[in-house]
Amino acid sequence: MTSASASPPVSQTSPPGLAHGRGIRLPSSVLGVLGIVGFLATWELVVRSGLVEAEYLPAASTVVREMVEMAGTSEFWAALGRTVRTWAIGLAIAASAAVVIGLVIGPSRFLRRATHSTIEFLRPIPSVALIPLAVLLYGTSMQATLLLVVYAAFWQVLIQVLYGVGDVDPVASDTARSFRLGGLARIRYLTWPTALPYVMTGLRLGAAVALILTVTGELVIGGGGIGTEIALAQSGGAVPQMYALVVVAGLIGVVVNLVARVVERRALHWHVSVRREAL
């Protein structure tokens, strides 16, 4: 006897929002919010249970309340604006210099070999080791912190640019040479599209490092900003305010990372990695 009519094939692809029958797959943003809520709840429980004295670590609710109160003062927004301005200026200077120098050094094997040892010597030097030099040159002004920011972010971008320029396809390079493309044309149509994903990675890394050095410089050197406010709150015994400012610095880092990723996706909308993420 013949068997019953065959059943239609079952699709192996899970419906949208399902993870292969294991339940609903939550968006990354929802998971991020749940993680933050879980962290704050754990923080609150640890303090309320007495495991840590509130004198040294205030409860999360106390810190959040302090943040809300600070948001209503003009001094807080002035300090926040100064930190963001220092970060943005330092990152812009570092990125511009790194891209130009990388595009000059990268295509030349002679220049890469001649500068390799110098780069490897200067790159590992911690930026905080330059604090005495920065104070000696610029005192406690914003320029002293800018020196640290530019130095730290410059290497993050430069190394990525050099890797990107070195990743140019040799066949494409020979083709451009056979068509006798000029130097600027080769940078525009060959080198820059290849190096751009590396440049965006360097900018994302440099943005995070620049923010760290901005807050560090303001904390140690002074001159205003969130870092200086943290130091003043600590010296004045305003522990909840100090923790609130630390949390604000962390939130700035989150925003910087999100903005960097949005810019990266827009700049690389044509790249296979961004298309794969979209799919």
The per-residue pLDDT for 277 is 54
Structure tokens at 263: 């810019």
Q: Is the pLDDT of residue 4 over 70?
A: no
Residue type, 257: N
Q: Is the pLDDT of residue 80 over 90?
A: yes
At residue 253 the predicted structure's pLDDT band, cuts being 50, 70 and 90, is: very high
The per-residue pLDDT for 271 is 64
Structure tokens at 155: 């290497």
74-94: average pLDDT:
95
Spatial separation of the C-alpha atoms in residues 79 and 87, rounded to whole Å: 12
Give 36-62 pLDDT, tens digit per residue.
888 889 988 988 888 888 888 899 999
Helix pair angle (226-235, 239-267), 10° resolution: 160
9-22: average pLDDT:
46
Question: Helix and strand tally (H, E) in the chain?
Answer: 12, 0
The per-residue pLDDT for 37 is 86
Mean pLDDT of the chain: 84
Task: Tell me the three-class secondary structure of 232-266, residue by residue.
Answer: HHHHCCCHHHHHHHHHHHHHHHHHHHHHHHHHHHH
Spatial separation of the C-alpha atoms in residues 81 and 83, rounded to whole Å: 5
Question: Kindly report the CA angle at 36 between 35 and 41, in degrees rounded to 5?
Answer: 100
Q: Is the pLDDT of residue 276 over 60?
A: no
Q: Which region among 10-14, 124-128, 133-137, 221-225 has the lowest average model confidence (pLDDT)?
A: 10-14
Give 146-168 pLDDT, tens digit per residue.
999 999 999 999 999 999 888 88
The per-residue pLDDT for 140 is 86
Backbone angles phi, psi at 200, to 5 degrees: -65, -35
Q: Is the pLDDT of residue 273 over 70?
A: no
Give 100-148 pLDDT, tens digit per residue.
999 999 888 899 899 999 999 999 999 999 999 999 999 888 999 999 9
The per-residue pLDDT for 1 is 43
Q: Is the pLDDT of residue 174 over 80?
A: no
Q: Is the pLDDT of residue 17 over 50?
A: no
7-26: average pLDDT:
50
Give the best-scoring range by mean pLDDT among 34-48, 70-84, 163-177, 180-194.
70-84
Task: Tell me the three-class secondary structure of 53-103, residue by residue.
Answer: CCCCCCCHHHHHHHHHHHCCCHHHHHHHHHHHHHHHHHHHHHHHHHHHHHH
